[in-house]
Amino acid sequence: MSDLRITEAFLYMDYLCFRALCCKGPPPVRPEYDLVCIGLTGSGKTSLLSKLCSESPENVVSTTGFSIKAVPFQNAVLNVKELGGADNIRKYWSRYYQGSQGVIFVLDSASSEDDLETARNELHSALQHPQLCTLPFLILANHQDKPAARSVQEFCYGEFTVEKEHIPWSAFHEHSAFKSGLLPQ
C-alpha cells in the first residue's frame, strides 16, 4: 500500500472517530452498486479502473479472468467487476453477469475495423443478454488521444448505433467523461 493510501486510511479513521465522539454516530452509509465492466483486450478497462481508484498507471497489467475494484465516489461506491477481454475469456462473461446493476462497455476508439466489428458483436450480445438487457449501459470510447480515434458521434450515429430505447444508456469518450464530472479526475 502506498504512503498516500496509508495516510488516507488514517485520515478516514480519524474522521470516523471524530464522528463517533462528536456526532454520536458513524458517518452516513454510502449506497453500493455492483457493475460489470466489459470490452475487448486492450480497450482500456484496467487503466480506466486504476485511474478511478487513484492507482499508479505504471502498475497496470491486462486482466486475465476477472478483477473486482471498489470505486469510491462522494455519494456512492461502485463495486466494478472487470472481465478480461481475450477471445478465450469472452465466452465466459455471462457467468459473471448475475447481480449486476449496470454495465460499462469500454471500446478502443482507435481499433481496427475487425476489432471494432468484434466489439460491436460483443456489445449487441450483452445488450440482448437476459441478465443485462434491462440494465443501464455506459459505453465509453477510450483512447481518444490516438490519431486514428473515432469520435463518440461516429459510434452513436454510425454503424455502431445502439438501439436500446427501453433502458438508459450513455456514450462518452474518456476525456469528456472526466471533464464533465461523470468520472472523478
Task: For residue range 39-48, list pLDDT tens digits in order.
Answer: 999 988 988 8
Q: Is 143 annotated as a binding residue?
A: yes
Rounded to an integer, the average pLDDT of 55-80 is: 85
Q: Is 179 annotated as a binding residue?
A: no
Q: Is 44 annotated as a binding residue?
A: yes
Q: Is 7 annotated as a binding residue?
A: no
- Confidence (pLDDT) at 161: 60
pLDDT in tens, 88-102: 999 999 999 999 999
Q: Is 40 annotated as a binding residue?
A: yes
- Confidence (pLDDT) at 79: 95
Above 60 in pLDDT, residue 123? yes
Are residues 183 and 175 in contact, defined by beta-carbon separation less than 8 angstroms?
A: no
Q: Is 42 annotated as a binding residue?
A: yes
Q: Which residues of 37-74 are buried (b: 16+ CB within 10 A; e: fewer)?
A: bbbbbbbbbbbbbbbbeebeeeeeeebeebbebebeee
Q: Is 41 annotated as a binding residue?
A: yes
pTM assigned to the model: 0.76
Q: Is 146 annotated as a binding residue?
A: no
Q: Is 84 annotated as a binding residue?
A: no
